[in-house]
């Protein structure tokens, strides 16, 4: 292992568990070993199903609504 990678792991060990897991997922993706699965909550599934229904009915956000969301987040 290189010195730089060891340093990165030393820094990562100090992070909270959730951030460590996210870094691990990124590293696995970058190395082509992404076997991690995301578990969706019932609320996530319901949200996706609702979004798919809206898309099927061609109910999309207006340009104004999108601009408002971007502005809200400073984008």
Residue 59 falls inside a structural domain: yes
Residue with more model confidence, 32 or 7: 7
**First and final C-alpha spacing in the chain:** 39
Counting the structural domains of the chain, the total is 1
Residue 20 falls inside a structural domain: no
Residue 34 falls inside a structural domain: no
Average pLDDT (16-39) is 87
Residue 60 falls inside a structural domain: yes
Residue 4 falls inside a structural domain: no
Full domain range(s) for residue 56: 42-72
Residue 5 falls inside a structural domain: no
Residue 68 falls inside a structural domain: yes
pLDDT digits 0-9 by tens, 30-71: 998 877 577 889 999 999 999 999 999 999 999 999 999 999
pTM for the full model?
0.46
Residue 37 falls inside a structural domain: no
Q: Write the CB contacts of 32 (distance below 8 Å, at least 6 apart in sequence).
A: none
């Amino acid at each position: 292992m290189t010195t730089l990678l060891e340093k990165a792991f030393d820094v990562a060990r100090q992070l909270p568990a959730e951030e460590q897991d996210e870094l691990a997922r990124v590293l696995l993706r970058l190395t082509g070993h992404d076997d991690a699965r995301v578990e969706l909550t019932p609320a996530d599934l319901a949200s996706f199903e609702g979004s798919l229904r809206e898309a099927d009915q061609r109910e999309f956000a207006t340009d104004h609504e999108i601009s408002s969301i971007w502005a809200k987040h400073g984008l």
